[in-house]
Amino acid sequence: MIISAKATLAGVMGWPIGHSRSPRLHNYWLQQYGIDGAYVPLAVPPERGEQAIRALPALGFRGCNVTVPYKELAYRTVDRLDPMAERMRAVNAIVVAGDGSLEGRNTDGFGFLENLKAGCPDWSAAAGPAVVIGAGGAARAVVVSLLDAGVPEVRLANRTRARAEELAAEIGGAVTVVDWVSRETALEGAALLVNTTTQGMAGQPPLDLDLRALPVTAVVNDIVYVPLTTPLLAAAAARGNRVVDGIGMLLHQARPAFAAWFGAEPQVTPELRRFVLEG
């Protein structure tokens, strides 16, 4: 698609950034909707992060996504925050206002829930406790969104208990921190299991978790999407659990940002999913 000198610009900022599938995703939508715009990768070294974020209005950008290592930096740098970014203490999307000010938003929780609902339409937050593995930025988004959706209890397990306790204290609500050695016991009676760590990602060891205590009625989600079927999802499916892979979280979290920058409400379709996975 040929763009004009009036094209609307957005992008994704990170270091490194070559692995990101966001340019493939957003440019697919731009072409699909016939929008004069472009979404570009912004490889910014860590020492230039704040400078790059502040330069977005001067460069004519409507906004950008931010990924590792910039979600917390963006939280501290923007002029204002939406309620979800405030709660999560992290920003994954920046919107440049007409006056050049920067608004930080967080759509990760939205993407997580939309993916869960799409992959398992009859999932109900009220069905029972959720077990979340990990205590990083992705875990924060997952825990907050689950609590907001009405999950009665989130059992949070992380190799370093102190980090899980810190996250639980900051979020508040019905979060129970579980010792790593007790992570499998925490599966008893759970209605949902979510892996938010990188364990199971290509090049990483599989998640060390025995599923025998997990009810077969529970839904299992892994936010990792390379590979699409992680060892955790393969083990869960083999025993009869319904599974939801991680690619949909990426696709759905992009929807609100695309709408804010480019003025169209994009849809996640099977064709889009295939296209992004091919990249």
Q: Which residue out of 26, 62, 71, 255 is catalytically annotated?
A: 71
Q: Token digits for 171?
A: 């979020």
Tell me if 162 is assigned to a ligand binding site: yes
Tell me if 246 is assigned to a ligand binding site: yes
Tell me if 223 is assigned to a ligand binding site: yes
Tell me if 158 is assigned to a ligand binding site: yes
Backbone angles phi, psi at 236, to 5 degrees: -65, -45
Tell me if 22 is assigned to a ligand binding site: yes
Q: Token digits for 119?
A: 């992959």
Tell me if 2 is assigned to a ligand binding site: no
Tell me if 225 is assigned to a ligand binding site: yes
Query: Which residue has tokens 């393969």?
Result: 234
- Cβ–Cβ under 8 Å, residues 16 and 43: yes
Tell me if 33 is assigned to a ligand binding site: no
CA 193 – CA 206 distance, rounded (Å): 15
CB atoms within 10 A of CB 136: 14
Give catalytic status of residue 71 as yes or no.
yes
- Cβ–Cβ under 8 Å, residues 185 and 213: yes
Tell me if 134 is assigned to a ligand binding site: yes
Tell me if 161 is assigned to a ligand binding site: yes
Tell me if 160 is assigned to a ligand binding site: yes
**Ranges assigned E (strand) in the chain:** 8-14, 37-43, 61-66, 80-81, 93-96, 102-105, 130-133, 154-157, 175-178, 192-195, 219-222, 242-244
Tell me if 24 is assigned to a ligand binding site: no
CA 36 – CA 232 distance, rounded (Å): 41
CA 272 – CA 48 distance, rounded (Å): 33
Q: Binding site membership for NADP(+): which residues? A: 134-138, 158-163, 223, 246
Catalytic residues: 71
Q: Binding site membership: which residues? A: 20-22, 67, 92, 108, 134-138, 158-163, 223, 225, 246, 253
Q: Binding site membership for shikimate: which residues? A: 20-22, 67, 92, 108, 225, 253
